[in-house]
Structure 1
Amino acid sequence: MRMFRGSMVALITPFYEDGSVNYTKLIELVEWHITKKTDGIVVLGTTAESPSLTIREKDKILKTVIGVADHRIPVIAGSGSNNTLQAKEDSLKYEAMGADGLLVITPYYNKTNKAGMISHFTEIADAVSIPMILYNVPGRTGCSLTVEAVELLSRHKNIIGIKEASGDIGFVSCISKLINPDFTVYSGNDDMIVPILSLGGSGVISVLANILPTETHQIVDEYLKGNVELARQMQLKYLDFINALFIETNPIPIKEAMNYFGMNVGGYRLPLCSMEEQSREKLQKTMSVLDISKEAS
């Protein structure tokens, strides 16, 4: 099974002023990420505002990204749902469309027990033949995978890792014991890239990479090459900016930052809306301190 390493951007969905998907900008962003050394593109995830996209839009977005990437960079599709049958159907569809991997979130709202979690992911993984990454983000879903569930699921031949976004370093330490040549951990939080790499992780699925792709790639790359101190310094250098990217619901701040920089990715789909002025000022201040406009160009 193919393993993914490095900085994988959790790609935003660009919109026109009328709220329709800006596919021209989407193509531009994919090309830009390839140029800027992003190691993989994750589409249709949280940062893409996937709950607000139609089925037809999701299919066209994924088809567009796969076509532009043209095997130059892996494309991982978010195919999760709280409906196991729907998640399986989407996973099979995205595999047929040419996705290199799948990102599958824990079933939210109709929260299940450990046995239900294991059955949910196993049924999806049994159906597909491309690599699948578990996605644990209890702050969003209101539920979490257990260490025992991850241990069982890590043995499945198609499940090659977990995107860990609980923010609980103790939990990360426990599941990091499961890392082997066929299973790894990816940071789902940009403020924990180096800590998770230090426990044996293989990279990050990153919001930060939407605006600082080269730098996010470098944090991971330098660490994996053994330049731990440089990676640590970079993690700390961008920490205030990373924190500012989450002062309101993701992807509101990252799209605000990209537009402030001049990337013109548009607004949001309701119920998401523009940032409050106080939050916007704080975000812009962190960008000014780092001189992001020069570094991200």
Structure 2
Amino acid sequence: MSDTAKIFRGVFTALITPMDAEGRVDDDALAKLVEAQIAGGIHGLVPCGTTGEAATLSHAEHIHVVEVVNRVADGRVPVLAGAGSNSTREAIELARACKELGVTATMQVVPYYNKPPQSGMVRHFTAIADAVDLPMVVYNVPGRTVADIQAETLGELARHPNIVGVKEATADMYRAAQVREQCGEAFCLMSGDDFTMLPFFAVGGDGVISVVSNVAPKLIVDLYEAFAAGRLDAARSLHYQQLRLTRLLFATANPIPAKAALHQLGLSSLTLRSPLHDMSVDDPLYAQLGACMRELGLLG
């Protein structure tokens, strides 16, 4: 296993992008969130993914968010910057900009909307990896992209020295096992589904890129570390604790509930970009999130 691949283990947080009441990126809140994550023991940070509302950030805003996160992290944890697009040219531009900022690696989503064949995916990811000499993690989330990269395709891509891992968000344990078989032990296999992270670890996963760790970083880190240490009873107990919170955080479109939870923790406003919308403090889900966080000791 290469030294680069070893970086992508443990719990990486798929960061929200805090915004002010006018919908502008809130740099101070973002910096505060990064510090809270690092204090919670998180192993890495992932700005500008799905949870970070990358789809509604302008190109300039996207690069700005990555810059803030990378600057505040200051090398204390790896920064895996979302830099994907359904346009190969745009993905290359974003990856180049992220490399100039000094991030650890980029995360590249399977091209959405275009519905490329597997051969098109090979060309897409290979073109990015050839153009930008920086480690890349492929992001497979067919529930959002429609297109689904197959394990055999990842196996072909894994031969490229810059393509070092995958965020597999299918919640399919057989798929995870297939990826491990096709790509080998050196390839980083990261879960993209909080509901199934524990069984994912059990079939050979190296970690998780988590939404829930925005709200409960220590809980998710403790779960991962219990599993890694072979304390399976403790890992199982923590898994069921986080499931209560996970169900609420995915009760409606992500990251609406995550921002509502972080609002109660003083780490974000409720503001989202349209077509998503803010959760009202009068929404029953807002109160349910608060009650769950109090039960877990996250909120006084």
TM-score class normalised by the smaller sequence:
over 0.9
Show the counterpart of 2:155.
151
Q: Pairwise CA RMSD of aligned residues?
A: 1.9
Alignment match of 1:193 (pick from 190, 197, 203): 197
Show the counterpart of 2:211.
207
Show the counterpart of 1:98.
102
- Contact 2:270–2:279, Cα closer than 8 Å, also in 1: no
Change (3 A) 1:120 1:269: same
Match status 1:281 vs 2:284? yes
SS at match of 1:2: helix
Show the counterpart of 1:5.
9
SS at match of 1:12: coil
TM-score, normalised relative to structure 2: 0.93
- Contact 2:176–2:205, Cα closer than 8 Å, also in 1: no
Give the residue type in structure 2 aligned to 1:123: A
CA distance in 2, matches of 1:259, 1:286: 11
1:68-96 Cα offsets, whole Å, 9 max, x none, are: 11111111111110001110121122112
Change (3 A) 1:231 1:287: farther
Correspondence 1:46-85 to 2 at 5 A: 46-85=50-89
Q: Percent identity of the aligned residues?
A: 35
Change (3 A) 1:296 1:99: farther
Q: Which stretch shifts more, 183-192 or 54-63?
A: 54-63
- Contact 2:12–2:208, Cα closer than 8 Å, also in 1: yes
SS at match of 1:62: helix
Change (3 A) 1:96 1:274: same
SS at match of 1:162: strand
- Contact 1:7–1:203, Cα closer than 8 Å, also in 2: yes
Query: 1:284: how far off?
Result: 3.3
Query: 1:275: how far off?
Result: 3.6
Query: 1:293: how far off?
Result: 7.1
SS at match of 1:216: helix
Provide the aligned length of Structure 1 versus Structure 2: 296
5+ residue gaps, structure 1: none
- Contact 1:10–1:42, Cα closer than 8 Å, also in 2: yes
- Contact 1:261–1:293, Cα closer than 8 Å, also in 2: no
Correspondence 1:222-237 to 2 at 5 A: 222-237=226-241
Query: 1:179: how far off?
Result: 5.2
Misfit runs of 4+, over 3 Å: 178-181, 275-278
CA distance in 1, matches of 2:191, 2:183: 13
1:105-148 Cα offsets, whole Å, 9 max, x none, are: 00010111010011111111122222211100001011100121
Q: Which stretch shifts more, 168-177 or 71-80?
A: 168-177
Show the counterpart of 1:14.
18
Show the counterpart of 1:40.
44
TM-score, normalised relative to structure 1: 0.94
- Contact 1:241–1:283, Cα closer than 8 Å, also in 2: no
Match status 1:295 vs 2:294? no
